[in-house]
Amino acid sequence: MMIARQNNENNKNEQFSQISSTTVDSKSKIDVRAKLAETAGVSTDTYSKGKKILDSDNEKLKQEVLSGEKSINAGYKELTGKKEN
Give pLDDT tens digits for 34-59. 999 999 999 999 999 999 999 999 99
Helix axis angle for 44-55 and 72-80, nearest 10°, is 50
CA distance 6 to 13: 11
SS3 63: helix
Task: Give me the pLDDT at residue 29, please.
Answer: 82
HSE-CB of 79 using CA atoms within 13 angstroms: 24
- From the CB of residue 11, how many other CB atoms can be counted at a distance below 10 Å? 10
Mind listing the pLDDT tens digit for each residue in 62-77? 999 999 999 999 999 9
